[in-house]
Amino acid sequence: SQTIHQWPATLVQPVGSPLSLECTVEGTSNPNLYWYRQAAGRGLQLLFYSVGIGQISSEVPQNLSASRPQDRQFILSSKKLLLSDSGFYLCAWNSRVEKLFFGSGTQLSVL
């Protein structure tokens, strides 16, 4: 069966510091991978998606970037965090038109 791992679970970072969140998927090949952000009390916003190694599409302009160095690995990064980057970050995967399967999430607080 397929599983998705996301870490860390919580992160507190000062403004201006770098960020690296990692997500890996097991039990499937060539998944579509996604990073979503959920601001407090709001719905989810798609940040990045990837349909293959090295292929990244950005849905919104922002202070963040994403990379897919391996088929089942998706990384969310920032060189300098802003206060507005705080939120709950969720990695997700699917195959073709299937429903999305979400990771356990990372609660990021930028202080």
Partner 1 sequence: ELKVEQNPLFLSMQEGKNYTIYCNYSTTSDRLYWYRQDPGKSLESLFVLLSNGAVKQEGRLMASLDTKARLSTLHITAAVHDLSATYFCAVHPDYGGSQGNLIFGKGTKLSVKP
Interaction site with partner 1 (CB under 8 A): 32, 34, 41-46, 49, 51, 57, 59, 90, 92, 94, 96-105, 107
Shortest Cβ 53–partner 1 spacing (Å): 16
Q: Which residue type sits at 97?
A: V
Shortest Cβ 18–partner 1 spacing (Å): 25
Shortest Cβ 88–partner 1 spacing (Å): 8
Q: How far is CA 46 from CA 14, 15, 34, 101, in A?
A: 24, 23, 7, 14
Give the pairing of strands 101-102 and 44-52. Answer: unpaired
Q: Provide the residue count of the chain.
A: 111
Please say which residue, 44 or 53, places its beta carbon nearer to partner 1: 44
Q: Please give the structure tokens belonging to residue 49.
A: 């998606």
Please say which residue, 3 or 17, places its beta carbon nearer to partner 1: 3
